[in-house]
């Protein structure tokens, strides 16, 4: 019987979107637990992906998109960031 990581590694090597999902599921708890940046958590998860599953996630299109965002730096306070729809007057008074 093979180790369960072997099966995960095979799936991640065969399916790029599965590999990306696995990457994200590694990065989020890293970010939550150690309170690091999005970039640091994803870089740590990428190392795990390579060490445990022999998957170089840095070649994935989503990773390349992250790298473009990271190189631009954090958004400035003047950027128009929507926090969702405005509450109606009725909802504010509940």
pLDDT single digits (tens) 19-62: 999 999 999 999 999 999 999 999 999 999 999 999 999 999 99
Residue 31 within any structural domain of the chain = yes
Q: In the chain, helix, strand, coil percent, each to 5?
A: 70, 0, 30
Residue 50 within any structural domain of the chain = yes
Residue 47 within any structural domain of the chain = yes
Residue 22 within any structural domain of the chain = yes
Residue 16 within any structural domain of the chain = yes
Residue 87 within any structural domain of the chain = no
What is the Cα–Cα distance from 74 to 8, expressed in whole angstroms?
Answer: 33
The end-to-end CA distance of the chain, in Å, is: 59
State how many domains the chain has: 1
Q: What is the per-residue pLDDT for 22?
A: 96
Residue 63 within any structural domain of the chain = yes
């Amino acid at each position: 019987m093979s180790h369960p990581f072997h099966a995960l590694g095979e799936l991640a090597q065969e399916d790029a979107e599965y590999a990306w999902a696995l990457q994200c599921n590694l990065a989020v708890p890293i970010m939550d637990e150690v309170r690091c940046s999005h970039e640091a958590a994803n870089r740590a998860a990428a190392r795990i992906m390579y060490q445990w599953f022999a998957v170089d996630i840095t070649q994935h299109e989503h990773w390349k998109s992250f790298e473009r965002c990271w190189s631009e730096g954090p958004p400035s306070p003047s950027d128009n960031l929507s926090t969702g729809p405005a509450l109606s007057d009725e909802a504010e008074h509940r």
